[in-house]
Amino acid sequence: MGMPEKYQDRYRIKTARLKFWDYASWGGYFITICVKDHKNMFGNIENGQMVLNELGKQATNFWNILPEHFSHVHIDEYVFMPNHMHGIIMIQSQHENKSAIKIDAINGVSTNSDSYGVIPSDKNPMLNNSLSTIIRWYKGRTTYEINKLIPKKFQWQARFYEHVIRNEADLHRVREYIVNNPLSWELDEENVNRIKKDAK
């Protein structure tokens, strides 16, 4: 799989969002979420491997527990890099999984990426189990928890980027790209040090 592109200084997966695709339906999604301003917050690459710091461990932990909050979600291959993460999410159709409303929704937990408060259950976006809702919950929860450690210093980039996995060959390519991502960090377009070198 080729290296991702950038458009207007933003990370972008080459394949665009599919038209008429139900983002709450069963399928595989390659997700990229970046830290705001490309700040290295999650650790360092050492000898081609990612070494997580405490912030990186927090971000990884909440990624791993997504299925506990969204029972129609399965976590596949993923990697956390110094300032972004890549991961594959498998989503089961809501029609096949009637129990997809989570404890968080019942308890009125907000999915707002800037806070982690309580909202009325009748207006709770958690009742909509789409890909956007899942990532909104993840970004909101990690932002809240990480900022307990470094108050008001952590933010995700406003958007996230997704690629619909079309078939088994595509899934294999994406998994391979994720696994090999730390090895190509020196050339990664999200690597702040590389960006600074190129600017000289």
Residue reference for tokens 């700040």: 39
Model pTM above 0.95: no
Neighbours of 103 (CB within 10 A): 10
SS3 22: coil
Task: Give 109's DSSP letter.
Answer: B
The more confident residue out of 53 and 19 is 53
Average pLDDT value for residue range 172-177 = 93
Architecture of domain 5-98+154-199: 2-Layer Sandwich (3.30)
> Is the pLDDT reported for residue 184 higher than 90?
no
> Is the pLDDT reported for residue 155 higher than 90?
yes
Task: Give 142's DSSP letter.
Answer: H
Average pLDDT taken over every residue of the chain: 74
Q: What is the pLDDT of residues 114-148, one digit of tens each?
A: 322 222 233 333 334 689 999 999 999 999 999 99
**Contact call for residues 9 and 57 (beta carbons, < 8 A):** no
- Sorting pLDDT into bands at 50, 70 and 90, what band is 151? confident
* In the chain, domain spans: 5-98+154-199
Q: How far apart are CA 35 and CA 52, in angstroms?
A: 15
> Is the pLDDT reported for residue 185 higher than 80?
yes
SS3 7: strand
> Is the pLDDT reported for residue 37 higher than 70?
yes
Rounded to 5 degrees, what are φ and ψ at 112? -60, 130
> Is the pLDDT reported for residue 87 higher than 70?
yes
> Is the pLDDT reported for residue 71 higher than 60?
yes
Among 189, 172, 187, 124, smallest CA distance to 28 is for: 172
Q: Mention every residue, 6+ apart, whose C-beta is less than 8 A from residue 166.
A: none
Q: Are strands 5-7 and 10-12 parallel, antiparallel or unpaired?
A: antiparallel
The more confident residue out of 106 and 99 is 99
